[in-house]
Amino acid sequence: MDANALEIRPYASALGAEVLNVDLRTELDDATWSVIHQAFLDYCVLFFRDQPLTLDQHIAFSKRFGELEPYPYNEGLAGYPEVVEVVKLPDEVHNFGSGWHTDMSFREKPPLGAVLCCKEIPPAGGDTLFANMYLAYDMLSEGMKEMVSRLNAVHYSHTFSDSFEPFKGMKSTDTYGEQSTVHPLIRTHPETEKVSLFLSPDYCVLLEDMSPEESRAILELLEKHATRHEFSCRFRWRRDSIAVWDNRCIMHQALEDDHGARLRGKGFKRVMRRSTIKV
The enclosing domain of 195 has a CATH number of 3.60.130.10
Report pLDDT for 269: 95
Is residue 101 annotated as a catalytic residue, yes or no? yes
Number of domains in the chain: 1
* Catalytic entry in 107, 183, 252, 270: 252
* Catalytic entry in 58, 101, 155, 248: 101
What is the C-alpha separation between 91 and 262, in angstroms, rounded?
Answer: 8
* Catalytic entry in 58, 103, 202, 246: 103
1, 26 in Cβ contact below 8 A?
yes
Ordered strands of the 250-254 beta sheet: 232-235, 128-132, 250-254
Is residue 103 annotated as a catalytic residue, yes or no? yes
pLDDT digits (tens, 9 = 90+) for 43-92: 999 999 999 999 999 999 999 999 999 888 788 999 999 999 999 999 99
114, 103 in Cβ contact below 8 A?
yes
What is the C-alpha separation between 115 and 60, in angstroms, rounded?
Answer: 11
Report pLDDT for 170: 86
Q: 3-state class of 31 per DSSP? A: helix
- Report the Cα 253 to chain-centroid distance in Å: 7
Q: Which residues of the chain have pLDDT under 50?
A: none
Report pLDDT for 1: 63
What is the C-alpha separation between 144 and 222, in angstroms, rounded?
Answer: 10
What is the C-alpha separation between 193 and 232, in angstroms, rounded?
Answer: 21
pTM metric for this prediction: 0.95
Report pLDDT for 248: 98
Report pLDDT for 14: 98
Q: State which residues form the domain around 190.
A: 3-277
* Catalytic entry in 107, 183, 248, 274: 274
